[in-house]
Amino acid sequence: MATALSEEELDNEDYYSLLNVRREASSEELKAAYRRLCMLYHPDKHRDPELKSQAERLFNLVHQAYEVLSDPQTRAIYDIYGKRGLEMEGWEVVERRRTPAEIREEFERLQREREERRLQQRTNPKGTISVGVDATDLFDRYDEEYEDVSGSGFPQIEINKMHISQSIEAPLTATDTAILSGSLSTQNGNGGGSVNFALRRVTSAKGWGELEFGAGDLQGPLFGLKLFRNLTPRCFVTTNCALQFSSRGIRPGLTTVLARNLDKNTVGYLQWRWGIQSAMNTSIVRDTKTSHFTVALQLGIPHSFALISYQHKFQDDDQTRVKGSLKAGFFGTVLEYGAERKISRHSVLGAAVSIGVPQGVSLKVKELEKQRESAATDVLQKKQEAESAVRLMQESVRRIIEAEESRMGLIIVNAWYGKFVNDKSRKSEKVKVIDVTVPLQCLVKDSKLILTEASKAGLPGFYDPCVGEEKNLKVLYQFRGVLHQVMVLDSEALRIPKQSHRIDTDG
């Protein structure tokens, strides 16, 4: 007997995405999609007990989706209120008296409101907590004449500074983002704080601009302008202009950075800073999968120094890193070493020991926390469900590939879904994609693949690998023996094959 679906499973599914049909799909389109999936997931086609159980669950889900969408009244209610709306009482009878056109009109209005709310909620909170511990007394004790002081028998270790910062981002439009940040810090009994608001606009595929307003109890109001521009595919420039208002008057500042990618993992920087602490700085940064290396030289007022640092990245689940650096200049010499480790999904704990001449010894403890918008569904559960669906598709995909190969039709060579990082200025961000080759091949019919204008995460065999982040679908396919490639946005419709997707191999 078929297994019953839980309320949570029913509520987490999008019936249109599950059947891969448009929201305006006709009854014939619904029926064709339903029959296709029933043939794929029918429990009688599987003898293995585990696969049979998984097929029963998916078969029931497809049947539930078709029952709702095939009835005009339940479909109209579902379009507005979702699956939970079908079980509500009281208003249901009243709403059912309205025509589907009236209900859909209201649905479009509510959908626009939901999209606006979702846009407002897509924040990217980041926070940092740093603590400085003065441990000089462990290595450099006072003279013996002070030993009669109470407690002088033990080294004096004290917290001498602390810094806390937090920021959030809120996309306003496709090109505009608002950023709100604040910080609190204290050192040797003196402290202060500041708050900043920035508005960033992406002006083109090559650049963006940002306006910043800030205020604090120590430095006074701040007005700034930051510009970024890709000069060539391997070179970019950043300029930051600022006006700091204080009791001493207006203090202007200008910082310009020119950077060039020397190779795949190495970037060279030239920086010029004019203002209160004018300086010229040049550095080379090499970042690979297992290490991060920096060498820098600065000539400036009041600080000139040379710096070399190295960080080793262990390839473990905790993302453990050990690091060391040596910095020497007019202020003296500082040797620092430490480590950091991931302690939870979005938190990293690090500690470093700093030994300086004449600064002494200090211990720094830092906790970095990065929180993201909480997901409505559990990613691990969705991943398991997608893997189960892919296992059920294997036999059908084998037959589809044989049929397509026999007529030089459509073969999905590779397909990936998730977050791609193509901008070199964001190369430090982690790529989060999943292989969806089998699910897409299973949707091929008569040498055609048609995906509707909806999130691909709801398709059979798919799941969302990066909840709350922008996603794409990238497909490499073969048609009539020729390779084609296309990348589309998550909610963008897709029809293949197309001549415009053809890969030009003449070069």
Which domains does the chain possess? 8-87 (1.10.287.110), 124-136+158-370 (2.40.160.10), 374-501 (no CATH)
Q: What was the pLDDT predicted at 136?
A: 64
pLDDT tens digit string along 3-24? 434 444 444 467 888 888 888 8
Contact indicator for 15, 65 with CB cutoff of 8 Å:
yes
Q: What was the pLDDT predicted at 362?
A: 59
Which residue, among 315, 271, 325, has the nearest Cα to 293 in the 3D structure?
325
Q: What was the pLDDT predicted at 121?
A: 55
pLDDT tens digit string along 393-447? 888 899 999 999 998 999 999 999 998 876 554 454 556 889 999 999 999 988 9
* pTM of the entire predicted model: 0.46
The two counts, helices (H) then strands (E), for the chain are: 9, 22
Contact indicator for 347, 369 with CB cutoff of 8 Å:
yes
Q: How far apart are CA 364 and CA 159, in angstroms?
A: 9
Q: How far apart are CA 369 and CA 461, in angstroms?
A: 32
CA atoms within 13 A on the CB side of 221: 5
* Residue 60, CA distances (Å) to 6, 282, 448 in order: 11, 63, 27
Categorize the per-residue pLDDT at 375 as very low, low, confident or very high, splitting at 50, 70 and 90: very low
Categorize the per-residue pLDDT at 207 as very low, low, confident or very high, splitting at 50, 70 and 90: confident
What percent of the residues of the chain are helix, what percent strand, and what percent coil, each to the nearest 5?
30, 45, 30
Q: How far apart are CA 97 and CA 93, in angstroms?
A: 7
Contact indicator for 450, 411 with CB cutoff of 8 Å:
no
